[in-house]
Amino acid sequence: MYQNFKSFLSEELASIEQAGLYKNERIILSPQGAIIKVSDGKEVLNFCANNYLGLSNHNALKEAAKSAIDSHGYGVSSVRFICGTQDLHKQLEAKIAKFFGTEDTILYAACFDANGGVFEPLLTEEDAIISDSLNHASIIDGVRLCKAQRFRYANADMEDLENQLKKAQAQRFRLIVTDAVFSMDGNVAPLDKIYKLAEKYNAMVMIDESHSAGVVGKTGRGVTELFNLKGKIEIITGTLGKAFGGAIGGFTTGKKEIIELLRQRSRPYLFSNSIPPMVAAAGIKMFEMMDESNDLQIKLHENTTYFVKGMKAAGFDIKPTESAICAVMLYDAKLSQEMATRLLKEGIYVIGFYFPVVPKNQARIRVQISAAHEKEQLDKCIAAFTKVGNQLNLPLTPSKGVRKLK
């Protein structure tokens, strides 16, 4: 059997490669940070990590993790409800709820699991899920596992959301679900309007704060802070694998009864291992740091504003961003690849995104800003973009044609 399957797989792999969609992994030899060492030993400036607050290699978190290995061991070897709940897990859950102003929290091994395990226990075929068309893969998969009726609305399109809500009025319960920040454009979901529509059409709201937690809002509490809706949203999911230190772990936080039922019925929680104590301990430390100061958010917001301003002044076409994600629009897929390759030679580590990750003719380089970046590093990045852009006679938009950058 395997001989046939093997040639089938080889053909699949070849067609992925031919389509230019084969994903090669670049290897990093250093910790995550503003400067990373790549496999040829070269050091480059990193602009493609979710390390928004620069915590991935933070001393205080490393110390907390190390001491938790001594006090609580390396792993827990159990799911939560058998013997996988340590005091650290409960403390971390409480910290997350306090951070978001919610009632309770349930931890998962990853946000992929949080999203995968949230819908099916809560909703049935009598209910409706109304989902943004650009939601993360884990939300899409989670919705697939649930029998609720599915409605989809165009990205952040409130007119379409309203139409879908009207269509869903026959269902018993309605849940609107959206990413809080969309990872390819950096825009935020218009939660104020979503919330109003939810009230009008008697629906609940779920947001995934993976790219916004720690980042968006004056103190980094996410989009519920930005829109003054702290504590009002029924379900928030998020990750510990991005701004919050970047190790591993996900969570669902929100209304008490929802979290309680998830503890009883959510399959990735019931049938998968607890996060290691070192991750829980470092997470607790991280939330303590967030309580003490907003310096990292202030620096991140300053850095993002500075970078966007500089890139626009240089003539680049940047999507309006409300997060730390800056999409430098190139439109052409090949150009985005060539640009990223040349930028790496200039010591700037970025990735080009093109169809099918983004719509056709919407290729771009996604730059992710971090509180770990210093101004001169941002300047270097802008200068390298300008140099390479000029080498490539960068066409700014299809309609504007070729234009020299400043």
Ligand X SMILES: *Cc1c(COP(=O)(O)O)cnc(C)c1O
Instruction: Give catalytic residue positions.
Output: 183, 211, 242
Give residues with Cβ within 8 angstroms of 305, minimum separation 6.
Answer: none
According to the binding rule CB under 6 A, does residue 222 interact with ligand X? no
Question: How many residues belong to the chain?
Answer: 406
Our CB check for ligand X shows the closer of 115 and 266 to be 115
CA-to-CA dists, residue 275 to 48, 59, 86, angstroms: 26, 20, 10
Which range touches ligand X (CB under 6 A), out of 12-20, 106-114, 268-276, 344-352? 106-114
Give min distance, CB of 325 to ligand X, in A. Answer: 10
Give min distance, CB of 360 to ligand X, in A. Answer: 22
Among positions 47, 100, 112, 119, the unique one binding ligand X when judged by CB under 6 A? 112
According to the binding rule CB under 6 A, does residue 110 interact with ligand X? yes
Give min distance, CB of 12 to ligand X, in A. Answer: 25
According to the binding rule CB under 6 A, does residue 210 interact with ligand X? yes
DSSP state of 357: S
Residue 94, phi-psi category: left (phi > 0), alpha (psi -120 to 50), beta (remainder): alpha
Our CB check for ligand X shows the closer of 210 and 303 to be 210
Binding mask 242-271 for ligand X (x = CB under 6 A): --------x---------------------
CB 141 within 8 A of CB 115: yes
CB 274 within 8 A of CB 78: yes
Q: Please count the residues of this chain forming the interface with ligand X, following the rule CB under 6 A.
A: 14
CA-to-CA dists, residue 14 to 6, 7, 11, 357, angstroms: 12, 10, 5, 19
DSSP letter string, 79-133 = -TTTT---HHHHHHHHHHHHHHT-SEEEEES-HHHHHHTTSTTT--TTSEEEEET
Among positions 120, 127, 132, 208, the unique one binding ligand X when judged by CB under 6 A? 208
Give min distance, CB of 35 to ligand X, in A. Answer: 23
Our CB check for ligand X shows the closer of 171 and 272 to be 272
How far is residue 220's CA from residue 269's CA, in Å, rounded to a whole number?
A: 27
Rounded to 10 degrees, what is the CA torsion of 38, 43, 47, 50?
60
Among positions 120, 179, 234, 332, the unique one binding ligand X when judged by CB under 6 A? 179
Quick one: how far is CA 143 from the chain centroid? 18
According to the binding rule CB under 6 A, does residue 239 interact with ligand X? yes
Q: How many other C-beta atoms are found inside a 10 Å radius of the C-beta of residue 317?
A: 17
Residues in 276-335 that interact with ligand X by CB under 6 A? none
According to the binding rule CB under 6 A, does residue 368 interact with ligand X? no
Residues in 128-147 that interact with ligand X by CB under 6 A? 136, 138
Among positions 186, 217, 241, 310, the unique one binding ligand X when judged by CB under 6 A? 241
Give min distance, CB of 126 to ligand X, in A. Answer: 27
Helix, strand, or coil (residue 59): helix
Residues contributing to the site for ligand X (CB under 6 A):
110-112, 115, 136, 138, 179, 183, 208, 210-211, 239, 241, 250
